[in-house]
């Protein structure tokens, strides 16, 4: 009788355990969780990201999307910096043309307000370039941090 009861307890305990679909280990239902984002069946605690209620796969996908958005934003910042460089070079060419006395030969420099305010026009691209370069530098730090987080999540995945 004792042996049968032990077996029955073992079978009851076995039915309480659930299998993790990722690592195929058996865990108690109290120790498992269900990801609210992907609704995967009960996962073990190893696949839960600390501080979040989602599984490592979902957090990995979210950070990958955020990283792609940051890279696209970084690319657009670099293109805007190139545009500011172009404006500054145009102002520099006009300034050099004025210093060499080309204002007598170039029609746009004879009858416009551009020669008198060229220094002010060239300060704006320089200030914008410095500002957006600092933003780009900060953006690169964020990208490096996210890549580090992704490497840590790949281990949990």
CA pair distance 118, 92, nearest whole angstrom: 9
CA–CA distances in Å: residue 136 to residues 63, 87, 130, 143:
19, 19, 10, 10
Domain that holds residue 3: 1-48
Provide φ and ψ at 18, rounded to 5°.
-120, 155
Q: What is the pLDDT of residues 62-85, one digit of tens each?
A: 888 999 999 999 999 999 999 999
Cα–Cα distance, 145 to 149 (Å, whole number): 6
Query: Based on the domain organization, do 12 and 71 belong to the same domain?
Result: no
In a shared domain, residues 32 and 81? no
* 67, 74, 79, 90 from 63: Cα distances, Å: 6, 16, 24, 41
- Tell me: pLDDT of 3 over 60: no
Specify the pTM: 0.64
Q: Tell me the per-residue pLDDT of 116-155, one tens digit each, with 9 for 90 and over.
A: 777 788 888 889 999 999 999 998 988 888 888 888 877 7
Q: Is residue 65 part of a domain?
A: yes
């Amino acid at each position: 009788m004792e042996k049968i009861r032990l077996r029955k307890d073992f079978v009851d305990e076995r039915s309480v355990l659930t299998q993790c679909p990722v690592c195929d280990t058996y865990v108690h239902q109290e120790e498992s969780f269900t990801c609210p984002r992907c609704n995967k069946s009960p996962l073990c605690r190893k696949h839960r990201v600390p501080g979040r209620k989602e599984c490592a796969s979902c957090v990995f996908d979210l950070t990958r999307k955020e990283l792609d958005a940051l890279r696209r934003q970084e690319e657009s910042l670099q293109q805007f910096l190139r545009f500011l460089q172009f404006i500054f070079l145009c102002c520099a060419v006009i300034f050099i043309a004025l210093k060499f006395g080309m204002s007598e030969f170039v029609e746009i420099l004879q009858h416009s307000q551009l020669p008198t305010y060229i220094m002010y026009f060239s300060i704006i691209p320089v200030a914008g370039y410095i500002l957006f370069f600092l933003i780009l530098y900060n953006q690169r730090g964020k990208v490096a941090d996210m890549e580090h987080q992704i490497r840590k999540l790949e281990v949990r995945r």
